């Protein structure tokens, strides 16, 4: 495991470090936007007074705080594994390249004593769960990690009510950042009500109370996409159903489902979904940095 000098120094000095995942770079966003966004996210965190720590694995080495070359490498290398926590040892032991999902990133971030993690959307319970049993490892992992994760909820390629129920079963605290509905990634609504928090300070107090009480499990801060970038729920529903249909026709299964659906939605929306995706991740990185600062103050 290698921690970059910047991140090491930041942690040592008690500065706000924010973890970022690499699956969004390698499998979530298309090239060349993936490189541009990864670099811009880091810059945005720095501009807000934080230290970015992009996490991923290159040739078997776990890196916390990838540099620009490493980000470019993971964005373009031909066979980058998509890693949930269980595959970390496989990737490390075989000396392979791997991009970390929410589950693997939160595991590694916690090991490095990073408290806050920003992403786009988390994995969840898939709509066809009854026949496929497909529930993302993200949910179980978050139930065991001591971290704050800022995400725009989950995509409605998933079954959002079941995802939120499962998070409750697993003991993951879900709070809406200045909202009381679990956001569905591209749109601000989903119909699922959640408690709301109004300030960074409130999130920080909850995090500290949870620690003092030794209650394990992440705090999922659900931060809706900015209004001006939102795609109406009904429009999304149409594209999602088309993408789901295509996935079925092509026999896509397992860990290929999420990346397949994402890329189809980008195509069907003629780029709108991509620009919304980028806007919301950036907004999450900013909010995560401000929360990380508050925790340390
Ligand atoms: N949702 C998105 N974009 C993403 C992902 C999810 O909108 O890039 C990625 C994240 O890394 C998440 C992973 O942790 O997909 C979940 O994959 P799966 O459904 O295979 O567990
Ligand atoms: Mn899955």
CB atoms within 10 A of CB 277: 28
pLDDT band for position 138 (cuts 50, 70, 90): very high
Residues 166 and 213 in one domain: yes
Q: Per residue in 241-254, pLDDT tens?
A: 999 999 999 999 99
Token pair belonging to 127: 């709509």
Of 59, 87, 114, the domain-final residue: 114
The answer on 85 and 198 residing in a single domain is no
Query: Would you list the DSSP string of 130-197?
Result: HHH--B-HHHHHHHH---EEEE-B--TTB-HHHHHHHHHHTT-EEEEET-SB--BTTBS--S-B--EE
Are 126 and 158 contacting, i.e. CB atoms less than 8 angstroms apart? yes
Query: Same structural domain for residues 176 and 226?
Result: yes
Which tokens hold the place of 142? Answer: 């978050």
Residues 291 and 217 in one domain: yes
User: In degrees rounded to 5, what are phi and psi of residue 224?
Assistant: -65, 150
CATH at residue 185: 3.40.1790.10
Q: What is the domain range of residue 267?
A: 118-297
Q: Do residues 172 and 109 share a domain? A: no
45 with 173, same domain: the answer is no
Both 101 and 130 in one domain: the answer is no
* Closest Cα to atom 7 of ligand 1: 121
Residues 110 and 200 in one domain: no
Write the DSSP string, 207-228: HHHHHHTT--S-EEEE-PPPGG
Q: What is the pLDDT of residue 156?
A: 83
- Give phi and psi for 194, each to the nearest 5: -140, 160
Active site residue 229: no
Ligand 1 atom showing the smallest separation from residue 126 Cα: 19
Q: What's the confidence (pLDDT) of residue 297?
A: 86
Catalytic residue among 33, 141, 144, 155: 155
Domain boundary among 89, 114, 139: 114
User: Domain check: are 136 and 252 in the same one?
Assistant: yes
Domain tally, the chain: 2
Residues measured by CB to lie within 5 Å of ligand 2, the ion: 134
Percent of the chain with pLDDT strictly greater than 70: 100
CA of 256 to the centre of ligand 2 (A): 8
Q: What is the DSSP letter of 50?
A: -
Q: What is the pLDDT of residues 30-88, one digit of tens each?
A: 999 999 999 999 999 999 999 999 999 999 999 999 999 999 999 999 999 999 999 99
pLDDT tens digits, 188-218: 999 999 999 999 999 999 999 999 999 999 9
**168 and 249: one domain?**
yes
186 alpha carbon – ligand 2 mean position (Å): 20
Same domain, 160 and 284: yes
The residue from 21, 42, 87, 229 that is catalytic is 21
Does any ligand 1 atom lie closer than 6 A to the CB of residue 286? no
Atom 20 of ligand 1, nearest CA residue: 255
pLDDT band at 21 (very low <50, low <70, confident <90, very high): very high
Q: Mean of the pLDDT values across residues 114-139?
A: 97
Are both 97 and 175 inside the same structural domain?
Answer: no
Residue at which a domain ends, from 71, 93, 114:
114
């Amino acid at each position: 495991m290698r921690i970059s000098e910047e991140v090491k120094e930041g942690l040592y000095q008690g500065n706000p470090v924010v973890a970022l995942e690499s699956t969004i770079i390698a499998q979530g966003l298309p090239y060349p936007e993936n490189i541009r966004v990864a670099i811009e996210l880091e810059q945005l965190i720095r501009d807000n007074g934080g230290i970015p720590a992009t996490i991923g694995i290159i040739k078997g080495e776990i890196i916390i705080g990838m540099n620009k070359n490493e980000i470019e490498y993971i964005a373009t290398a031909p066979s980058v594994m998509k890693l949930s926590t269980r595959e970390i040892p496989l990737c490390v032991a075989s000396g392979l390249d791997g991009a970390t999902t929410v589950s693997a990133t939160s595991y590694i971030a916690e090991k490095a004593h990073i408290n806050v993690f920003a992403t786009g959307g988390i994995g969840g319970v898939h709509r066809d769960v009854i026949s496929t049993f497909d529930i993302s490892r993200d949910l179980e992992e978050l139930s065991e990690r001591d971290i704050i994760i800022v995400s725009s909820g989950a995509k409605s390629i998933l079954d959002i009510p079941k995802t939120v129920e499962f998070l409750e079963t697993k003991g993951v605290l879900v709070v809406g950042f200045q909202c009381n509905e679990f956001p569905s990634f591209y749109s601000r609504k989903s119909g699922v009500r959640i408690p709301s928090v109004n300030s960074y300070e409130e999130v920080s107090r909850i995090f500290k109370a949870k620690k003092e009480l030794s209650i394990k499990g992440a705090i999922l801060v659900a931060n809706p996409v900015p209004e001006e970038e939102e795609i109406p729920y009904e429009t999304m529903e149409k594209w999602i159903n088309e993408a789901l249909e295509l996935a079925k026709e092509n026999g896509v299964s397992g860990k290929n489902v999420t990346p397949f659906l994402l890329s189809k939605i980008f195509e069907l929306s003629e780029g709108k979904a991509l620009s919304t995706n980028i806007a919301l991740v950036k907004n999450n990185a900013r909010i995560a940095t401000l929360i990380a600062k508050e925790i340390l103050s």
